[in-house]
Structure 1
Amino acid sequence: MASKVQVQKVATLTGHRDSVYSLSPSAEEQVVLSAAGDGMVVAWNLQDPENGELVARVTTSVYALCYVPDRKLLLIGQNQEGLQVIDLQSKQIRKSVPLPKTAVFDIAYAAALQKVFVALGSGAICVLDGENFELQTIIRKTDQSARCLAYNQASGELAVGYSDNTIRIFDAGTLQLKHELQSHTNSVFTVVYSPDGKLLLSGGRDAHLRVWEVEKDYHERGYLIAHMYTINHITYSPDGNYFATCSMDKSIKIWDASTFKLLKVIDKVRNASHGTSVNKLFWSAHQNQLVSCSDDRTISVWDINLG
């Protein structure tokens, strides 16, 4: 099948001195934020991508960033230390929130509930007040890592993927456990709700992309063997018609969100893509550009023409 999707690499962003683990939107559509094992958080302007601007620097590696849009704040997950709240305009630390001394794998902000959820390497989910970032409670259903989070505003649910191969669905308001999804055969590294909130997509170390129907009590619609190795991240396009996956197999794949057909493979041989594991994706509304980051310490910017 000849795909109409055209992909062109428009920039390679360098400057991080260690694996780049996280990408995040910011206050401006054309600016994307990155964080890495070097503790640096950098802002990149996609209109002039060559020179990054240092936003913050912490003393440990950073796996997770979360942008709080209504207040132009950035939450930085500082491994072993907790959460740093940064004012993006002044670049000042507003608050440091100490958390249990372990890795911070993901952060999700639920604007409707004014809550922040933090997934920890201890298996705990920390729930913070979204206004003052005070720790409210900690929920823990397993001692294996909580790796990824997704908040569904439509259903008021929080999906959490764990290293015990399970996805747990919580009521995001009451934190009551509603479902345990146990089809994955290895750690779950990424969960994402479709923009309409009707589907949950998940992936992880078993390389399977699984699709769950939210309104049917998370009945599993099916799965694809989407990559050769671990699926690290899944993200939807701004219009919701497509999604992209990235993997430890060094590739990025673009899929049709309604048919789940594979439309494009982006890799080193065909596209001069990353040489090692691709860790995170961010699909920007700025010119529909897809941003990827990798263990190779670089960030790539891709023009995606969907034909």
Structure 2
Amino acid sequence: MAAAGGVYEPLHPPCAFSPKSRDLLALSGVDGRIQVWDTRGAGLRREYVPSAHLSATCTCLAWAPSRGIQEAHQKKRRKSEAVDGDEQYDLLTIGTATGTILLYSIVKGELQSKLVGGHDRKVTCVRWNRDNGFLYSCSEDKHIVEWNTQTYKVKCKWKGDSSSVSSLCISPDGKMLLSAGRKIKLWDLETKEVIRQFTGHSTAVTSLMFIPVRSPADSQTPPETNGLYFMSGSVHDRLISVWQVRTEKREKSAVLTFTLTEAPVSLDLAPSDSKEEPLKLAVVCRDGQLHLFEHLLNGTHKKPVAPTCTVQIATSGSDEDSTPKPLPVLSAVFCPDKQTVVLYYGSTMQPVIEKLVLKTDEPHVCLIRDVQKTLTLRKEVAVTKVKTPVVKAADTKVLVPGIPGHSATVTAAKLPRQDGKRKSGVKEVSIEDRLGAMDIDLPKVPIKSGLPQTDNFSVLLVQGLESNDLHILNKVFQTKNESLIKKTVARIPVYSVIPLVHELTKRLQGHPNSAILMVRWIKAVLVHHVSYLSTLPDLVSQLGALYQLMETRVKTLQKTSRLNGKLYLLITQVAASEISQRIQVNQEAKLVYEEESSDEESGDEEHNTDDNWEEGDEEAEKEESEGSGEEESEEEMNVDKVNGDSDVDLGNESEEE
């Protein structure tokens, strides 16, 4: 009942344990290879390379139920013939990024069938119905498809959500289907109608699993209908929610939650045989820790349930450095005895599989393992031997990469033949001549100047924080684009938030110009990751230095702003005075106005005429001017006489005196 393959955008390639016995582990490598390992220590069983493994990578894995496999092969076998352990779970279902679903036979070692026409985008989850043998799949194209495995064609297709459908789960009775997208929907498989919807996660739901609780032996109620719960996990929520399917109250919230240290990657459940027996849950988080829970489902619990045991794996360390280094757990499942746990850790190229009996009395268990020496699985020798065909050199053509596909060919005769010994007298062709002989037509890609893309910035930031490389960090923190900063901070993983805050706090104490840039990063971190920071138990110690630094600067903000205003006024006045001194004033006037004298004005007034005057007025004025002229002449004569007489009289008076 492992749910390792239905996680939305998993950090690790998908994997799937065989049901019940847990004897086989199917892994999808980074290069698209599908490997089947034996968990009992027999090594690699099968390796399958799809024809389009590079373009259509594996996105999800699931094992077909043993009942359908036995029915398919029963016609070819005798009734007395027993079924091997490998043949019980023979068919492996592979979902690809292009929408195609592959059915691979482990026994035959070949591709049995290919399901096409159902999806046109990436397949996110595949699930088998044990009752009718049908296959259900969901995709990013928002649809759910029901496949008929007898005809390998689409039986029914319907829209599951308004966005991508990320996970599916079949009920134990095979009559209901759970789908996860933005909401969790419970479907009736006969009518394809929604029975009920569940909401409660802040982000997209990625993991689903039913929890069948069996009834006591004396109860007349069927075991599958007495009590039915299911679990759900989200891509960014650090908890697992438990919902009750059949209830009279129709509660909208979850009846129980399990707390985690990170988002869940894989789930596995050891169901209880009765209501009095607690169920056991194994959850692997993104931080590589395994959490084990034991809880009895007996009603609604308001407080979240903490794990009873947490398991971590670490290496013993090298000779130079004796400090243990963490080794993440990739998946874990329960064995049929419910006491043993199968752990899968390491890498897809060299996986380490270990069966471990855990005692849940200890709250925290750290396992020290030396992967290189003891627990690395060895691949078996391949069954078929690879033979190199003998081909004549004259008929051989070497294909070189081009756009698109192999567009250029070079005959092998043009290239010099390289033997084990160099022959004397043969001139060796230089690398430049060889590259010129290939004649590769590469497209001319315009070189875009500017900053790299956001994906590269987020990767650079995480690398710089992990390696403490100042050159990388300076390159990232020098950006001033607000949208680029927000997208970069939003895409970094959660475990890099605290190191980023510490680095920003250290840089805030440096040069003021650097502090201006760091404030933008601090704002983006607090906006995007406030939900994660608020859940940290040691938040006060983690953000104490940043809080004190901000508090001291805020206290002096008012005084600093006043000083800034005064300095701004002084600087503007000094700049204005300097500009005024630089400007040379021209002393010559551009315009001179001279006021005329009164005589000239009177003369002008006398000689001034108006064209609009009437003729009678003009004659009257002439007569007046003539009369006035005569009067003026007479007055002048009289004045002269008076003046002459006065002069004589004055002279006589002077003589008399």
Residue 97 and residue 59 in structure 1: after superposition, are their counterparts in 2 closer, same or farther (change >3 A)? same
- Greater Cα offset, 20-29 or 140-149: 20-29
Offset of 1:95 from its aligned partner? 1.1
Determine if the alignment matches structure 1 residue 112 to structure 2 residue 212: no
Structural mapping, 1:1-307, within 5 Å: 5-15=40-50, 16=53, 17-26=56-65, 27-28=68-69, 29=88, 30-57=90-117, 58-112=119-173, 114-120=175-181, 122=182, 124-154=183-213, 156-162=228-234, 163-174=236-247, 176=251, 177-182=254-259, 184-196=260-272, 198-215=279-296, 220-226=307-313, 233-237=331-335, 242-246=340-344, 249-250=347-348, 251-256=351-356, 259=359, 270-271=377-378
- Greater Cα offset, 188-197 or 142-151: 188-197
Offset of 1:144 from its aligned partner? 0.9
Q: Secondary structure at the match of 1:6?
A: coil
Q: Secondary structure at the match of 2:108?
A: coil
Structure whose residues are more often helix by fraction: 2
Within 2, Cα distance between the matches of 1:146 and 1:222? 25
Residue 6 and residue 241 in structure 1: after superposition, are their counterparts in 2 closer, same or farther (change >3 A)? farther
Unaligned runs of 5+ in 1: 274-307
Q: Secondary structure at the match of 2:296?
A: helix
Residue 270 and residue 208 in structure 1: after superposition, are their counterparts in 2 closer, same or farther (change >3 A)? same
Residue 139 and residue 49 in structure 1: after superposition, are their counterparts in 2 closer, same or farther (change >3 A)? same
Partner of 1:293: none
Residues 142-163 of structure 1 show CA distances to partners (whole Å, capped at 9, x for unaligned) of: 2312121121112522111222
CA contact (8 A) 1:240 1:257 kept: no
Within 2, Cα distance between the matches of 1:67 and 1:103? 20
Residue 74 and residue 240 in structure 1: after superposition, are their counterparts in 2 closer, same or farther (change >3 A)? farther
TM-score, normalising length: structure 1: 0.74
Residues 215-237 of structure 1 show CA distances to partners (whole Å, capped at 9, x for unaligned) of: 17756321112585765544344
Within 1, Cα distance between the matches of 2:200 and 2:231? 13
Offset of 1:61 from its aligned partner? 0.8
Offset of 1:5 from its aligned partner? 4.7
Offset of 1:271 from its aligned partner? 3.2
Within 2, Cα distance between the matches of 1:22 and 1:265? 26
Offset of 1:249 from its aligned partner? 4.5
CA contact (8 A) 1:158 1:172 kept: yes
TM-score, normalising length: structure 2: 0.37
Q: Taking CA–CA contacts closer than 8 Å with sequence separation of 6 or more, which of the two structures ends up with the larger relative contact order?
A: 1
Residue 166 and residue 271 in structure 1: after superposition, are their counterparts in 2 closer, same or farther (change >3 A)? same
Within 2, Cα distance between the matches of 1:128 and 1:265? 45
CA contact (8 A) 2:293 2:309 kept: yes
Residues 129-178 of structure 1 show CA distances to partners (whole Å, capped at 9, x for unaligned) of: 13333233322212312121121112522111222111001113247421
Within 2, Cα distance between the matches of 1:216 and 1:201? 16
Residue 254 and residue 102 in structure 1: after superposition, are their counterparts in 2 closer, same or farther (change >3 A)? farther
- Greater Cα offset, 152-161 or 237-246: 237-246
Offset of 1:205 from its aligned partner? 0.8
Residues 87-132 of structure 1 show CA distances to partners (whole Å, capped at 9, x for unaligned) of: 1111121111202243333211113373211122x3x212111333
The CA RMSD measured in Å over matched residues stands at: 3.4
Residue 36 and residue 130 in structure 1: after superposition, are their counterparts in 2 closer, same or farther (change >3 A)? same
Offset of 1:186 from its aligned partner? 1.8
Unaligned runs of 5+ in 2: 1-38, 70-87, 214-226, 274-278, 299-304, 315-325, 381-657
CA contact (8 A) 1:127 1:135 kept: yes
Residue 20 and residue 99 in structure 1: after superposition, are their counterparts in 2 closer, same or farther (change >3 A)? closer
Offset of 1:66 from its aligned partner? 0.8
Within 1, Cα distance between the matches of 2:358 and 2:93? 29
- Greater Cα offset, 85-94 or 109-118: 109-118
CA contact (8 A) 2:352 2:375 kept: no
Residue 5 and residue 19 in structure 1: after superposition, are their counterparts in 2 closer, same or farther (change >3 A)? closer
Within 2, Cα distance between the matches of 1:131 and 1:196? 29
Within 1, Cα distance between the matches of 2:283 and 2:48? 28
Structure whose residues are more often strand by fraction: 1
What is the one-letter code of the residue matched to 1:23?
A
Q: Secondary structure at the match of 1:132?
A: coil
Q: Secondary structure at the match of 1:135?
A: strand
Offset of 1:246 from its aligned partner? 4.3
What is the one-letter code of the residue matched to 1:153?
P
Residues 188-232 of structure 1 show CA distances to partners (whole Å, capped at 9, x for unaligned) of: 122221154620111121211111113177563211125857655
CA contact (8 A) 1:80 1:101 kept: no
Percent identity, please.
11
- Greater Cα offset, 25-34 or 83-92: 25-34
Residues 18-71 of structure 1 show CA distances to partners (whole Å, capped at 9, x for unaligned) of: 134222324213222121223221112221123342134521111211101111
Q: Secondary structure at the match of 2:282?
A: strand
